[in-house]
Structures are given as C-alpha cells and as structure tokens.
Amino acid sequence: MSEITLFNKIHSVVENIKKIPKEEKILIISHYDADGIASGSIILKSLFELGYFPHIRIVNQLDHEVISEIKSLDYNYIVFSDMGSGQKTLIESIKEKNIFIIDHHQPESPELENEINPHYFGFDGGKDISSSGLAYLLAKEIDEKNVHLSQIAIVGALGDLQDKGEKNSLIGLNEKISQDAEKSGLLKKKLGLKLHGFESRPIIQCLANTIEPYLPGLTGNEGACLKFIKNLGIEPKKPDGSWKTVSDLSNEEIRLLVSGLIKYLISLGFSSKEAEKIIGTVYIFPNESKDSPLYDAREFSSSINACGRMNKYGLGISICLGDRDKALSELKQVLHEYRQKLSYYIDWLNSHNNSIKILSHVQAVFGEDIIDEKMIGPLISMLYGGKPFSLDKPIIGFSKSKNFVKVSARATIELVNKGINLGLLIKEAAKKFNGIGGGHSIAAGAQIPIGKEEEFLEYLNKLIEESQVIKPETRITN
C-alpha cells in the first residue's frame, strides 16, 4: 500500500488539469448515487475555482448510449467520476478526447495517464476510499483551502457504506479525510445510535425517519414508532407535553431503547452482530443546524442518495455545493416523497406475493415496470430482515425499464465473508444473457434483455450452488 505513489499520481493529474486552456469546455460525467453526486460536485467546485466553467451530467451508468452522446457533444475534455475504470473498452472509442477518470471501482487494464484509482496503489476502493474521497484529495492538491470539501467526501464514503471499521467507523484514507475535517472543526465523532437525527429530533421522529439502516415496520410509520416506544416502557413526552429527544431520556431509558431495538431486529431475523450495528460511530457536522437533515453525515448522505434516486440531481449537487435555505425545504419534500415511494413499493410487494421468488441459493423480487430501476437497489437492501426473505442468501431485484431489465443484487457481510462475490457472479450471469454487469462483492448490478429474468435467476442460483459457498447445513432458516 503506498500513499506516496497515490499522492504522486494525484499531483501529476492536477498538473495536467492546470495545462488545460481556460477557454476549453470540460464535461464531468458522474453516477446518480450519493458517492457519484458528491464526487461530481467536489470536482465541479474545484475546477470552477481554478477558473474553468465545467458542466456536469449525472447518468445511470457508463454505457454505449452515454458514449455516443459524448461523441456528439462539443467537449474536448471529459472527466469521468465514480465510473470509467471498469469501462476502458467503451472509453477506447472516444480516445480522441482528453479523458480523466476519478473512480474507486475495480479497474480494467491498462492504467491511464489521467486516471486516479486507489486499486493501483494497493488500497481497497470498497472501504479505504470512495470516489468522493479521491475527488477531495484532488481538490486539496489543487488548493489547501478546499479542506472544507472533506465533509462532502465523508458524505460520499458513507453513501457507499464504507464505514467498515470497528463500530461502523471510517477506515484507511477515509479516516485520514475525517481527521482533516475534525481538525478544521467541521466534524465531530461520537458513539451512539445510528438513527437519523438521534442527537436533535424527537425519538419518535428519528425512528420513523431512519432509512439507512431501514427499520422494518418502523421506518416511515410514526404511529408504529410511538407504540414501540411505549411498549418499551418509555414515556415519549415531557411533562409539558412536548416530545422527548435523546437528551431528555434518562440513562435507563436509553438502555431500554438500545436493547429494545436490538431485540426487535433480532426478532425479524437479523443476526445479533447485524442488529448491534444500530450502535456505532455517529458523524456530526457541527456547522449545520441541529434540526437539519444535513447535521448527521449519514442522514446527509441518505438525503443526497434520495435526490439521485428521485431524479433531483441538480438539488443534490447544489446542496453539496453549499446551497441551503430554499434548497433545504425542497430537500425535505424530496425525502418525504422518497420514503413514501419506498413504502408504496413495500405495500405493493406485500399484496403481490407472486412477485417474490425464493430459490435454494438466491431470493428475488420481480419489480416489473412498477418499481423504478433506480429504487430497486435501496428497496432490496431494506427487504433483508423482513419476511419472507432470509439473511442467508443474496437478494436479487429486477426492474423493467424501456429497453432492458435492471438487476440489483445485495448480500450481507456474513455472506461476503463466506466467499460470495456478487460483482463477479452478476458479471458472469449477465454476460451469459448478453447483458452487462458488475460491482462490489456486497452490492452489484446489471442490465439484461427483457424476458430473461427467470433464466438469469436460475443460472445465478446454479452458479452459487456450484461455488458451494452457501452450504445447506450452514443455512439459517427463518
């Protein structure tokens, strides 16, 4: 692992950026999830501060369509952010343009002159640093003043669930970035419940508002949260009738809440290790107002993720760039609609049992053209732990779009530790059906032709069965 060589590479890429004539048009292309929007915003801001007027385009993925669009546009400089390293063959067809890549996904060879990817330097792009972290290091190399963008780098890393250290902390280069933020007074860390707004909101609201982790039966349902709190023996209101926040709870009430939540999650089928992850390192941005969805870095990250999934890219970018006031009220509306959309999908699935299929080694949701292709990923992540799904096999989601079927796949950390690599499995299965796919061991995705969902699933089931990673005797039954 070499930080020095990574920093040398960043230095040489920055030198090349500075050689771009100021009148040149630069196009940044980034991914729609939290890390994509955050990294694209950091690059946009730092190029702007260097005197350029870059444009940004957020896309679902880097495919032939995006490449032909780039070909037809009048930009000589293209910056791929959170994508590109794994699509070198595609990019080859626009090699007459000046290409820059800032990406943390597994790269295809060869390494390009203007490509920043941690894997070439011995870092793991799944947990040591995300695209936003790389974009931040680039921004800091451009100008030390850009240290304030460390917060956005943390938002991106948390969006890609890179808090893989002890007590859900950031590790590797992400941890170094969090130290930059702490030193500048932009970050506070503490151990606590990873509920959105745990520090500041009424308990009922913070249970109902928490999307990641999704609390089956509680997220989005304040009535159910009130009942849950009362059943634990906690009085939710203060004597003056106002709602209690965590600072109003006694130590005994906090203990009841923590153990009650863990027991509840275990009763849903979570392993105790997974359930205990409800407690972890909480990252706070003290410069944000306490009641804002941007105060807790995980909630900030879920908010940007929601903007991306709800096609509100401009809003996500402007919030990362520092817009508040009007942008914040718009964000609250987007978050409300995002939660509503997810609960609509869950209700739809509950009344369409034939949209769920459980095989020996995989389980699946067929979202047809009801579930949006951008929502299928977060939806299946949430379904883990709820009936009839179990935690002992990957969960695959299908969503039909105009020309193809979008596949999303998620595993648990326990399955990954046993040897499941969804990125490789999905890539292989997609290839078999003339599709494209890939991703990480724990989260992957693909595009396959319409009508091939069942065959794809059977094939994936066979691949996992043959790999013998999930053995029948080690399976936990619900």
Binding site for ligand C5P (CB under 6 A): 31, 33, 35, 61, 82, 160-161, 377, 381, 408, 410, 436-440, 442-447
Q: How far is the CB of 33 from ligand C5P (least distance, A)?
A: 4
Round to whole Å and give the CA distance between 50 and 53.
Answer: 9
Q: How far is CA 346 from CA 220, 307, 311, 342, in A?
A: 11, 20, 20, 6
d(CA 127, CA 105): 11
Q: Which is nearer to ligand C5P, 222 or 372 (CB)?
A: 372
Please tell me the chain's helix, strand, coil percentages from 3-state DSSP, rounded to the nearest 5.
50, 15, 40
Q: Considering the complex, what minimum distance in angstroms separates the CB of residue 227 from ligand C5P?
A: 29
d(CA 371, CA 55): 31
Euclidean distance between CA atoms 118 and 130, whole angstroms: 9
Please, which residue, 161 or 334, has the CB nearer to ligand C5P?
Answer: 161
Tell me the pairing of strands 436-439 and 405-410.
Answer: unpaired
Nearer to ligand C5P, 160 or 296 (CB): 160
CA distance 109 to 107: 6
Torsional sign, CA 458, 89, 9, 21: negative
List the one residue out of 195, 212, 115, 218 whose CA is nearest residue 160. 212
Minimum distance from residue 249 beta carbon to ligand C5P (Å):
30
Query: Would you say 158 or 193 has its CB closer to ligand C5P?
Result: 158
435 closest CA partner among 466, 415, 459, 468: 459
CB 288 within 8 A of CB 297: no
- What is the longest distance spanned by two Cα atoms in the chain? 70
Q: Name the residue nearer to ligand C5P (CB basis): 105 or 201.
A: 105
Smaller CB separation from ligand C5P, 229 or 376:
376
Q: How far is the CB of 360 from ligand C5P (least distance, A)?
A: 23
Question: Which tokens is 446 given?
Answer: 């693909």
CB of 309 to ligand C5P, least distance (A): 9
Of the pair 35, 288, the CB lying nearest ligand C5P is at 35
**In angstroms, what is the minimal distance from the CB of 15 to ligand C5P?**
28
The Cα 390–Cα 254 span in angstroms is 29
Q: 81 or 245: whose CB is closer to ligand C5P? A: 81
Query: Among residues 98 and 162, whose Cβ is nearest to ligand C5P?
Result: 162
Least distance CB 260 / ligand C5P (angstroms): 25
CB 334, min distance to ligand C5P, A: 17
Residue whose pair of structure tokens reads 């606590």 in the numeric block: 192
State in angstroms the smallest separation of the CB of 139 from ligand C5P. Answer: 19
Quick one: 61 or 210, whose CB is closer to ligand C5P?
A: 61
Closest approach of ligand C5P to the CB of residue 137, in Å: 17
Distance of closest approach, residue 308 Cβ to ligand C5P, in angstroms: 9
Beta carbon nearer to ligand C5P, 137 or 446: 446
Task: Look at residue 79 and give its three-state secondary structure.
Answer: strand
CA 215-152-438 angle, 5° bins? 65
Q: How far apart (Å, rounded) are the C-alpha atoms in residues 421 and 368?
A: 26
CA 363 distance to own-chain centroid: 22
Whose Cβ is closer to ligand C5P: residue 245's or residue 421's? Answer: 421
Distance CA 112, CA 91 (A): 11
In the complex, least distance from residue 170 CB atom to ligand C5P, rounded to whole angstroms: 14
∠ CA 234-240-241, nearest 5°, is 60
In order, the DSSP letters of 45-78 are: HHHHHTT---EEEEES---HHHHHHHHHS--SEE
Contact between 67 and 87 (Cβ < 8 Å): no
β pairing state of 77-81 and 26-31: parallel
Question: How far, in Å, CA of 147 to CA of 159, rounded?
Answer: 20
